[in-house]
Amino acid sequence: MNPNKALWEKGDFTKLAATMRESGDRLVEAIGVTRGMKVLDLGCGDGTTALPEARRGADVLGVDIARNLVEAGNRRATEAGLQNVRFVEGDACDLSPIENGSFDLVVSIFGAMFAPKPDDVAREMVRVTKKGGRIVMGNWIPGDPTLVAQILKTSSAYAPPPPAGFISPMLWGVEANVVERFGKAGIAADRIRCERDTFTFRMQAGADKFLELFRDWYGPTMNAYEAARQQGKEAQLHQELLALFQAQNRGDATRTEIPATFLRVTVQV
């Protein structure tokens, strides 16, 4: 099985996505999704940004490598009565079923950055975007002091070494790498804009319960806990992460509100 597919089907990201809905909607508003647009939402999960895009009248195709998330996205769309969005399985490294220049806008928020071949991802996103269209990515930033970068940093200290040839997804959060990758896909540097933005996780429960979602349902953190358990260090990992979550929570013991900084990339094709 494709290791990336196995990773994202391992847990159930819908549990975490429920804490991201408000920020997803705000981001869609900020990037200017409007009625009649053809939008590809790549690495879409269960539709945190795809459904808000459809609610604004765009014609949306959500593509994700995880079958369970595609099924969840289609269920959410049906429940919402949205007929202008559909979800299908696909790999951000190879979008060959999609014709060149099919979309006005390609969006990937914390999705395509995790695909294993970043140069292929950049090339495919450019290929399927119409001339004059846009690509918008949201990518976590390596070494950033806010939540997600620190979760991944802490988890990696307990996880087994990555396989040979592994390219860290966090490198999508470095502007120079973004420019280089899209440059290989034919995009000049002056057509690429990178800026820091904030995504806020919200949950009507304390930070300890929020951490449990990552422990139980988020593939990368699940792997870290399993590796720590084998080393007899599960309690140590949990305490490190709990301290992180509690320190970053702007809510209280009954409410989680944690902002996380990301790199917002806009490419003019």
Do residues 212 and 203 touch, judged by C-beta distance below 8 A? Answer: no
Give domain status of residue 19, yes or no: yes
β-bridge pairing 59-64 and 38-42: parallel
> How do residues 53-67 score in pLDDT, each as one tens digit?
999 999 999 999 999
User: Is the model's pLDDT at 164 over the cut of 90?
Assistant: no
Q: Is residue 216 part of a domain?
A: no
Please report, as a single letter, which amino acid is at residue 163. P
- What was the pLDDT predicted at 160? 82
List the CATH number of the domain containing 78: 3.40.50.150
* Residues above pLDDT 70, as percent of the chain: 100
Query: pLDDT tens digits for 101-115?
Result: 999 999 999 999 999
From the CB of residue 224, how many other CB atoms can be counted at a distance below 10 Å? 25
Residue 86 lies in a domain: yes
Residue 268's contacts (CB-CB under 8 Å, 6 or more residues apart) are: 132, 134, 187, 191, 192
b/e map 99-128, b = 16+ CB within 10 Å: eeebbbbbbbbbbbbbbbbbebbbbbbbbb
Give me the sign of the Cα torsion angle 253, 140, 14, 56.
positive
DSSP string of 110-141, one letter each residue: SSGGGSS-HHHHHHHHHHHEEEEEEEEEEEE-
Among all chains, which residue has been given the structure tokens 């459904």? 51
Calculate mean pLDDT across residues 31-45: 97
Residue 247 covered by a domain: no
230 in a domain, yes or no? Answer: no
In a domain, 243, yes or no: no
Which domain does 88 fall in, by range? 3-141+163-201+261-268
**Count of structural domains, the chain:** 1
- Token pair belonging to 167: 């390219």
Domain annotation covers residue 190: yes
Please give the C-alpha separations between residue 269 and each of 37, 41, 130, 229, in angstroms, as whole numbers: 15, 16, 7, 47
Q: Do residues 187 and 158 touch, judged by C-beta distance below 8 A? A: no
Q: Which of 159-168, 198-207, 215-224 has the lowest mean pLDDT?
A: 159-168
Could you tell me if residue 110 is left (phi over 0), alpha (psi between -120 and 50 degrees) or otherwise beta?
A: left
CB atoms within 10 A of CB 262: 25
Q: Is residue 129 part of a domain?
A: yes
